[in-house]
Amino acid sequence: MPPNRQSGQTAKKHVAVIGAGMAGIACARTLAQAGWQVSVFEKSRGFGGRMSTRRSQFGDFDHGTQYFTVRDPRFEAALATTADVIKRWSANTVRVMDASGHVLASTGRPNDAHWVPVPGMSSLLKTWGAPLQNGTLPDCNVHLHTRVTALKRDGAHWTITCEKVANGDAKKFQHLLSGFDHVVVAIPHGQAHDLLEASDLMPDWQSQISDVLVDPCWTLMLAYPNASQPGLSHLGPHWNVARSTHHRISWVARESSKPGRSSVERWTIQASPQWSQEHVNDAPDRVKAKLAKAFGEITGIRAEASHAEVHRWVYAQTRRALGQSYLLNRAAGLGVCGDWCLGNRVENAFISGLELALAIVED
Ligand SMILES: Cc1cc2nc3c(=O)[nH]c(=O)nc-3n(C[C@H](O)[C@H](O)[C@H](O)COP(=O)(O)OP(=O)(O)OC[C@H]3O[C@@H](n4cnc5c(N)ncnc54)[C@H](O)[C@@H]3O)c2cc1C
């Protein structure tokens, strides 16, 4: 490492981490703890990515990840450092329903506990990301509302091109930031593909990255505040969670059954991967109507919701993963991580980000 002329100490290496979801935060924290200077770039307004929370006047919805499971001791150890932010959700009695709402079978690995952050899905990464933002981890910073649009290697360093994003719209002005020793791309598969291609960095990894398949997912959120009146504990079925065999819907969950959430009756409904793919470009109102009808068929809830909205995840859940934890070009100082490297679970994203950071530190 080159000496730092001002202090006489060895200068820290500087890494740009693009994406503040589970993979990006796991990677950024590990590098910061190993003594790297870390700058995180995130296009949305906060930490979380697909572990995010959607606000409504009737309470919040976990409109991406529903819960996570823990099988790797390294993930377990990391979670233990902030144990007060996660709670066990009794969602193990998951049923499979037919289109008329008849239970076909029960599923779920009995020993696989389901965990949710409290008070909302985004709370875990907000907690893990805070030390990168508030000075607890020195020489680190977080640039929110900042989309990275291109990466360029100039001699020994990287320059990244960014644009500010406000209310979902990119502002026209762009700015360049330079001097990074390393760049980590920790964004969903399709967006990583596009960023690397736009930056002319795909050739090495073209065939591997193009082989990955990720399904979209339309998600419907419904709230029934009138169901929470005295004497009426909840609306519709007595179960809280179901995997469904209905051709439109694969998952329904009562948000208000999760720990730490408000009691207003709220449901999150995920369309099946196939239906989401077939209707990926449909108008949101049309999707809302079709999913609400199917929800009524499964649950018997025909009442009109006081709040109904849909969200389209273009890159939701991995169908065919890369098959290795990360991609790393050591000579160029460029790494890629994300859930899609290993699978479709939060824990996959954590392991991918962690193992990429450890490989970078080894150099
Ligand atoms: C509907 C749905 C349900 C799911 N259910 C579950 C579940 O029940 N259990 C489970 O374990 N997993 C579930 N998952 C999967 C889980 O959410 C993911 O595996 C995990 O959150 C992925 O983390 P990540 O860091 O790889 O990516 P992400 O969480 O997508 O993070 C990537 C981040 O990069 C940012 N970004 C993208 N492009 C740029 C750019 N150019 N510049 C700057 N920032 C950028 C994004 O805004 C985002 O914050 C679900 C996912 C979806 C969508």
List pLDDT tens digits, range 273-317: 999 999 999 999 999 999 999 999 988 898 999 999 999 999 999
* pLDDT the model gives residue 228: 61
> Containing domain of residue 159, as a range?
1-50+122-212+321-363
Ligand 1 atom with the shortest distance to the CA of 47:
49
- Nearest residue (CA) to ligand 1, atom 11: 345
Which one of 65, 75, 147 would you pick to mutate in the ligand 1 pocket, going by the greatest count of ligand atoms within 8 A of its CB? 65
Cβ(21) – ligand 1 distance below 6 Å: yes
- Residue 269 pLDDT more than 90? yes
CA distance 281 to 99: 24
pLDDT above 50 for 3 = no
Q: From atom 42 of ligand 1, which residue's Cα is the shortest distance away?
A: 147
| 156 and 16 belong to one structural domain | yes
In a domain, 311, yes or no: yes
Asked whether residue 167 is assigned to any structural domain, the reply reads yes
8 Å CB contact between 220 and 55: no
Q: Same structural domain for residues 174 and 297? A: no
Q: Report residue 90's pLDDT band, with 50, 70 and 90 as the boundaries.
A: confident
pLDDT for res 202: 81
pLDDT given for residue 96 in this prediction: 67
Average pLDDT, the chain: 90
pTM of the predicted model as reported, rounded to 2 decimal places: 0.94
Regarding whether 218 and 208 lie in a shared domain, the answer is no
Q: Which of 92, 133, 112 lies closest to 253 in space, CA to CA?
A: 92
Place of tokens 């008329």: 100
- The pLDDT of residue 2 is 41
Look-up of token digits 């990894």:
205
Beta strand pairing status for 37-41 and 14-18? parallel
DSSP state of 304: P
Atom of ligand 1 nearest to the CA of 349: 26
- Is there an atom of ligand 1 within 6 Å of 186 CB? yes
**Could you tell me the pLDDT band of residue 6, with boundaries at 50, 70 and 90?**
very low
Q: Are residues 107 and 235 in the same domain?
A: yes
In this prediction, residue 203 carries a pLDDT of: 80
Same domain (yes/no): 72, 203: no
* Overall average pLDDT of the 22-44 stretch: 97
**Quick check: is 251 in a domain?**
yes
- Distance between CA atoms of residues 122 and 127, nearest Å: 9
pLDDT tens-digit map of 118-171: 999 999 999 999 999 999 999 999 999 999 999 999 899 999 999 998 766 666
* Residue 244 and residue 96 in contact, taking contact as beta carbons nearer than 8 Å: yes
Whether 61 maps to a domain, the answer reads no
131/115 same-domain check? no
Instruction: Identify the CA nearest to 118 among candidates 27, 53, 168.
Output: 53
- Total tally of structural domains belonging to the chain: 2
Same domain, 160 and 99: no
Indicate which CATH number applies to the domain containing 19: 3.50.50.60
Kindly state whether residues 29 and 136 are assigned to the same domain.
yes
Q: In terms of domains, do 5 and 106 share one?
A: no
Asked if 208 and 220 sit in the same domain, the reply is: no
Which contacts (CB < 8 Å, 24+ apart) does range 291-297 have?
Answer: 291/218, 291/220, 291/248, 291/249, 292/220, 292/222, 294/99, 294/246, 294/248, 294/249, 294/269, 295/220, 295/222, 295/249, 295/252, 295/267, 295/269, 297/99, 297/100, 297/101, 297/246
Residue 350: CB within 6 Å of ligand 1? no
Question: For residue 212, how many C-alpha atoms fall within 13 Å in the half-sphere facing its CB?
Answer: 28
- Reported in sequence order, the residue ranges of 25-108 that DSSP labels E, i.e. its strands, are 37-41, 86-89, 94-97, 103-107
Q: Cα separation of 212 and 138, whole Å? A: 36
Asked if residue 3 is part of any domain, the answer here is yes
Of the chain, the percentage scoring pLDDT greater than 70 comes to 88
Burial of 210 per CB tally in 10 Å (0-12, 13-18, 19+): exposed
Give the atom of ligand 1 at the shortest distance from the alpha carbon of 50.
29
Residue matched to tokens 């736009």: 198
Alpha-carbon distance of 268 to 282, in angstroms, equals 19
How far, in Å, is the centroid of ligand 1 from the Cα of 350? 11
From the CB of residue 56, how many other CB atoms can be counted at a distance below 10 Å? 17
Going by pLDDT thresholds of 50, 70 and 90, the confidence category of residue 4 is: very low
Q: How far is the CA of 227 from the centre of ligand 1 (A)?
A: 32
Give pLDDT, residue 111: 63
Is the model more confident about 241 or about 218? 218
Whether residue 156 is found in the same domain as residue 301: no
Summarised one tens digit per residue, pLDDT across range 314-358 is: 999 999 999 999 999 999 999 999 999 999 999 999 999 999 999
Contacts (Cβ under 8 Å, ≥6 apart) of 210: 193
Specify the pLDDT at position 51: 98
- Reported as a pLDDT band with limits 50, 70 and 90, residue 206 is confident
Residue 140's DSSP bridge partners are 38
Q: Which residue has the tokens 């959430």?
A: 261
132, 23: one domain: yes
Q: Is 344 in the pocket of ligand 1 (CB under 6 A)?
A: yes
pLDDT at 237: 81
Band (pLDDT 50/70/90 cuts) for residue 174 is: confident
